[in-house]
Structure 1
Amino acid sequence: MGSWPARAGVGFGRACVVVAVSMLVPAVWAAAVALGIWWGAGNPWSWVAPFVLVSTGTLALSRPICRIVRFLVARWTGTVIPAGYRQAGPVTRLSTGYWWNGFSYERTSRDALMDQKMRLRWSDPATWRDLRFTGIVPFTAGVIAAVPPAGAAGAVVGLFQPSLAMRVIGVLGAVMAVASAPYAWRALEPVAVRFLRASPAMTLADRVEELTAQRADTTVAQAAEIRRIERDLHDGAQARLVALGLSLATVEKVLKTNPDQAMALLREARAGAATSLTELRDLVKGINPPVLSERGLVDAVRALALDSPLETAVSADLRLRLDPPIESALYFGIAELLTNAVKHAHATQARISIAQDDTDIVIDVEDNGRGGAGVRADGGLAGLRRRIAVFDGTLEITSPEGGPTRARMMVPCASL
């Protein structure tokens, strides 16, 4: 906790920060009113300009102020308040040459992005939540946080006055500033939690949108997987089985007239059957590795590490078997991360850690590659993030230029 002077000093500084942030918009309002008074009642701009200044200033400052408040609350108290802003979708160019931004068609990508940004800003409920908070915080947390600075100002003014009454007021101001400093800034947290956190209805609506997108992604992934299996069967095992049938038909014809040729054809057919069986096993392994079904995620990852061209170390502390869909998603997620490390990062070593705490299954995959990995909207990492999100999981990527790259997948135990 620290000594009282240290707490008072830290609290006084935080109270001043809260006052400065919360009073930005009222300062704009006061400036607009002062401008109107300065112009005089006879000037038509004395009514129009303050209104425009108040509107544009409040709208422009609301989101930055709310972001600062979320940062301060998280930094000072550890309470994380999700922003909840709606994310912009991709802007796509169509075959007609027009650009589709999710709302309208535009002639250029610049127009499409500007229109999307404007529509998204005005249709986002978080925008109106920010405006409401910007109007409330000065008269709640802002007023309470202003007590220590006001007491300090009174102390400075009063103690330097010759009269006894003013000096008494100065002493009282100093006592008020010191006594309230450790606590005055704390009013920011409950006000921010109450007015910046998304309402249950908005959270439910966002969850419905997220689940809808996840369902669409799952449908697309399933269709792509079915097409891959069909293609592999058609180009591989099916073609070999057709050739095997033709070879056996030829054997039937030449068995009595040319036994040596028949034996050669039978040897080819046996080799073709073995090759077809190997291809089918590989195909089934790509769908769901047998070791994953039989022995679980940890042993499957260890087998994957042995087959990887990277020098891979695996450490695991997993005390339970996961549901098969979750095991499959995590296994193929690890496989994709290792593939990216070889293909894109040119890594030579990797480390995989599988752990379980009270709330989550945590998997870390780290490589010594060149780094610079990013999550693009149409990239493999974004697809992996969406697949993990089906189980309320998250994927975090840390990949500075020059490496190393670290990926963390987390799945809540409640999903198991």
Structure 2
Amino acid sequence: MRQLVSWVASACVGFVRACVVMVVSMLVPAVWAAAVALWIWWGGGPWSWTAPFVWACIGTLALSRPVCRMVRSLVAKWTGTVIPAVYRQAGPVTQMSTGYWWNGYSYERTSRDARLDQRWRTRWRDPALRRDLRFTAIAPVTAGVVAAVPPAGAAAAIFGLFQPSPAMRVAGVLGAVVAVAGAPYAWRAVEPVAVRFLRPSPAMTLADRVDELTAQRADTTIAQAAEIRRIERDLHDGAQARLVALGLSLATAEKLMETDPDQAKALMREARAGATTSLTELRELVKGINPPVLNERGLIDAVRALALDSPLETAVSADVQLRMDPPIESALYFGVAELLTNAVKHAHATRARITIARDDTGIVVQVEDNGRGGADVRAGGGLAGLHRRLAVFDGTLEITSPAGGPTHARMMLPCASL
């Protein structure tokens, strides 16, 4: 009995899904059918087909991307198969010194005109447009036809069973059998069709990867320039100024050595204190660039040392000692430092837990705090910079931070040297 109920539920769900697939896949053919009907209604003159044909083309272009997005969403929801869209994204619009706006293709007088022109040019030149149009032409005669079997069987059953003719009633019974038997399976044809014709081609994937790497290179260049400016500023305002003062103190002490030895000794003591302070500042600067403990003892010990210096009550758990390439260790170390800083500064957390582990693909670092939550990746923020730093190594950053906390961050970097 339980199996019968389960099968009936599966048939009902399958029938609804088949109807949805049929409707979605037949949207574009319905536009062309309406265009043909309009042409027939106008009388079929020599040029009367022009307007319906133009409107059908416009409707096809307008519906192609929404139809493909609906199909991807349905496939992901029903089967768990995620099909990447890979659409080209419009770049920034820049105002030039002449007052015109450059959108990557042409100059326009206003920002609105530049963005509108850019949006249409980007979509028209996107290889995904041809892919979507191809799918809207193939889907109706493949997944759409298969999905239409249960609704067609149900329609035949309703029509035939209410007819007085025995032959029609037999046809109605057969239609009901076809509808019920095919309902759990008819909608499933949409998955292989969508995977085959909606997935990005190798050329599209490569182009998208090139764009991503170009953006990462620009971000890395900007970050390196900012880091160099920070180092120069710290050296100029800190250690350099103290070393200049140290030189002046030593020169004055040298002149006072014979005339006022006590004052010369005092200046020497001040110079020694200044030298100690300068050495401390230089060590802190070097630590901020590349912590010595990271080079000497690896990521896990460096993170443990960072946890000891943190004002949070931080627990660190890790697998056996891992040694990776220095750039990967540096990226993860400064990622943990950024997350702990955010936990103290923004989330007002009191405790944190750091977990370092490895799996089949790479290393996973998780940082969880008991703060107030609400963390998100904003443009120009520290988390956005951390995301860019990890993306250089094909890494990912996942943030789960509901209002009220806790905040859970997961960094993953593929690493073949584990």
Moved over 6 A (4+): none
**Which AA in structure 1 matches 2:239?**
A
2:44 is equivalent to residue 41 of structure 1:
yes
Aligned mate of 2:115, from 113, 116, 141: 113
1:14-413 → structure 2 map (5 Å cutoff): 14-42=17-45, 46-317=48-319, 320-347=322-349, 349-367=351-369, 371-399=373-401, 404-413=406-415
**Which AA in structure 2 matches 1:249?**
A
Q: CA deviation at 1:388?
A: 0.9
Q: CA deviation at 1:22?
A: 0.7
Partners of 1:285 and 1:295 lie apart in 2 by 14
Alpha carbons 2:397, 2:410 under 8 Å: kept? yes
In structure 2, the CA distance between the partners of 1:50 and 1:215, relative to structure 1 (3 Å rule), is same
Partners of 1:111 and 1:364 lie apart in 2 by 45
Q: CA deviation at 1:328?
A: 1.0
Alpha carbons 1:318, 1:354 under 8 Å: kept? no
In structure 2, the CA distance between the partners of 1:383 and 1:102, relative to structure 1 (3 Å rule), is farther
Aligned Cα root-mean-square deviation (Å): 2.6
Partners of 2:130 and 2:348 lie apart in 1 by 47
Alpha carbons 1:362, 1:408 under 8 Å: kept? yes
Q: CA deviation at 1:89?
A: 2.4
Q: CA deviation at 1:43?
A: 8.8
Q: CA deviation at 1:95?
A: 4.5
What SS is found at the alignment partner of 2:49? helix
Q: 1:396-416, CA deviations, whole angstroms, 9 ceiling, x for partnerless residues?
A: 344555655443322224486
Higher alpha-carbon deviation: 403-412 or 226-235 = 403-412
Partners of 2:160 and 2:59 lie apart in 1 by 36
Q: Report the counterpart of residue 13 of structure 1 in structure 2.
A: 16
What SS is found at the alignment partner of 2:324? coil
Q: CA deviation at 1:310?
A: 4.3
In structure 2, the CA distance between the partners of 1:327 and 1:50, relative to structure 1 (3 Å rule), is same
Q: CA deviation at 1:18?
A: 0.9
Alpha carbons 2:300, 2:321 under 8 Å: kept? no
In structure 2, the CA distance between the partners of 1:277 and 1:319, relative to structure 1 (3 Å rule), is closer
Alpha carbons 2:312, 2:349 under 8 Å: kept? yes
Higher alpha-carbon deviation: 59-68 or 242-251 = 242-251
In structure 2, the CA distance between the partners of 1:150 and 1:319, relative to structure 1 (3 Å rule), is farther
Q: 1:34-63, CA deviations, whole angstroms, 9 ceiling, x for partnerless residues?
A: 12212222495x423311221121111111
Q: CA deviation at 1:264?
A: 0.9
Q: How does the TM-score come out when normalised to structure 2?
A: 0.90
Partners of 2:120 and 2:405 lie apart in 1 by 37
Alpha carbons 1:318, 1:356 under 8 Å: kept? no
In structure 2, the CA distance between the partners of 1:201 and 1:7, relative to structure 1 (3 Å rule), is same
In structure 2, the CA distance between the partners of 1:402 and 1:135, relative to structure 1 (3 Å rule), is farther
Q: 1:319-347, CA deviations, whole angstroms, 9 ceiling, x for partnerless residues?
A: 63332111111221232233334444555
Higher alpha-carbon deviation: 255-264 or 92-101 = 92-101
Alpha carbons 1:391, 1:415 under 8 Å: kept? no
Note the residue ranges of structure 1 that are not aligned, 5 or more in a row. none
Partners of 1:415 and 1:16 lie apart in 2 by 51
